[in-house]
Amino acid sequence: MELQGWVIYNGYLQGNKFLDFAEWIQRAASKQNIKMDIYRHNELLTYLAVSSMSLLNVKETELPHFAVFADKDIYLAKQLELLGVHVFNSAETIACSDDKIATYQKLAAKGLPIPRTIVAPKAYHQLNSVSLNEYQAAVDQLGLPVIVKEAFGSFGEQVHMVSTKEEVYNIIRELHGKPFMLQECISSSYGRDMRLHVVGDKVVAAMTRHSSHDFRSNVTAGGSMQTYHPSTEENDLAIAAARAIGADFAGVDLLFGKNGEPIVCEINSNAHIRNMYDCTGINVADFIMDYIRKTMK
Ligand SMILES: Nc1ncnc2c1ncn2[C@@H]1O[C@H](COP(=O)(O)OP(=O)(O)O)[C@@H](O)[C@H]1O
Ligand SMILES: [Mg+2]
């Protein structure tokens, strides 16, 4: 049986970044004689009816054996799974990775090190009456400065460091209705973190990221990258973190604790691989396709 796969990226997002990832995966697959077709997620419409589910305009016989899902459309990922396609990463993993609160809950349940975090109680936007009193205890517990972080966000854009109670309250008012958390600021990691790329049960590439002008080290926000050789403790933590959310592969971000100990910051189930290649010369796509080929045997 010749293995056939799809790679799916978001057709709505601007810029080449997402197609770029798909093409890297496709090239890596072709090196291993695996045929992969690239699809935009919005070309594949989920169809649901009585005793029938499918993708509109795709015959059952045209479905692939597996899909690399480079998007966060978890309904589509789930639909593929229900149709018998093996999806990497799974719909459940993508959903958990996308939601930072869900991620921290999984990590805490496994006893893995994370910044102390307090989750904002769910609020309905239209009620529009946030009582700030309940946050007093949270700020007292976490101290200042404190990190205010939305559950859903990327490129550091939904992560704020705030130094006064007034600022905390202003941000909370703005975020009212969205899921967010308050989080201990790991000041020993100011402007730097490490990205470890896990595939299966191995760290295959790693780098540190450093920003000279911001507490956030995201490369998209101007952080610079450097090849890194993680310690055994850092490797083990990254692998355990990826496993905690059931990821086949993931970019795991670790912060530097006060005594140099690693602390999990986030797990990206859809981590980009070009930056890692530019920095380390390691093509993570080759490892991903190798892992998929072995898993699909
Ligand atoms: N608790 C924290 N303490 C210190 N720095 C943090 C903390 N949380 C996040 N950061 C910094 O902010 C950056 C972005 O946060 P992150 O949670 O990874 O969100 P995003 O998904 O937007 O990248 C991290 O790479 C790190 O540099
Ligand atoms: Mg991040």
In tens, the pLDDT along 6-31 reads 999 999 998 888 889 999 999 999 99
Atom 27 of ligand 1 has which residue's CA nearest to it?
216
Judged by DSSP in three states, 129 sits in coil
* Cβ–Cβ < 8 Å for 78, 17: no
Q: Does the beta carbon of 222 sit less than 6 angstroms from any atom of ligand 1?
A: no
Q: Report pLDDT for 17.
A: 82
Q: Report pLDDT for 221.
A: 80
* Cβ–Cβ < 8 Å for 242, 249: yes
Calculate how far, in angstroms, residue 143's C-alpha sits from the geometric centre of ligand 1: 17
Q: Report pLDDT for 129.
A: 66
Q: Where are the domains of the chain?
A: 4-88, 95-113+188-295, 117-185
In tens, the pLDDT along 242-256 reads 999 999 999 999 999
Closest ligand to 263 CA? 1
Calculate how far, in angstroms, residue 71's C-alpha sits from the geometric centre of ligand 2: 16
- Ligand 1 closest atom vs CA 149: 17
Q: Report pLDDT for 18.
A: 84
Q: Report pLDDT for 128.
A: 57
Longest dimension (CA), the chain: 63
Question: Using CA atoms, how far apart are residues 182 and 205, in angstroms rounded to an integer?
Answer: 31
In CATH, which superfamily holds the domain spanning 117-185? ATP-grasp fold, A domain (3.30.1490.20)
Q: Does the beta carbon of 256 sit less than 6 angstroms from any atom of ligand 1?
A: no
Per-residue pLDDT 10s for the chain (297 aa) are 689 999 999 999 988 888 899 999 999 999 999 999 999 999 999 999 999 999 998 999 999 999 999 999 999 999 999 999 999 999 999 999 999 999 999 999 999 999 999 999 888 765 556 677 778 999 999 999 999 999 999 999 999 999 999 999 899 988 988 999 999 999 999 999 999 999 999 999 999 999 999 999 988 888 899 999 999 999 999 999 999 999 999 999 999 999 999 999 999 999 989 999 999 999 999 999 999 999 999
Q: Report pLDDT for 28.
A: 98
Q: Report pLDDT for 14.
A: 84
* Cβ–Cβ < 8 Å for 207, 228: yes
Encode burial over 251-278: b for 16+ CB neighbours within 10 A, e otherwise.
Answer: bbbbbbeeeeebbbbbbbbbbbbebbee
Judged by DSSP in three states, 69 sits in strand
Beta strands in 25-83 (DSSP E): 35-40, 46-49, 52-55, 66-70
- Ligand 1 closest atom vs CA 191: 27
Return the CATH number of the domain spanning residue range 95-113+188-295.
Answer: 3.30.470.20
What residues does 254 pair with on adjacent strands?
A: 194, 264
In tens, the pLDDT along 75-94 reads 999 999 999 999 999 999 99
Q: What is the pTM of this model?
A: 0.96
Query: In the block, which residue shows the tokens 């970044």?
Result: 17
* Fold topology of 4-88: Rossmann fold (3.40.50)
Cβ-based burial of 96 (10 A; exposed 0-12, middle 13-18, buried ≥19):
buried
Both tokens of residue 257? 């604790």
* Cβ–Cβ < 8 Å for 7, 68: yes
Question: Using CA atoms, how far apart are residues 206 and 183, in angstroms rounded to an integer?
Answer: 25
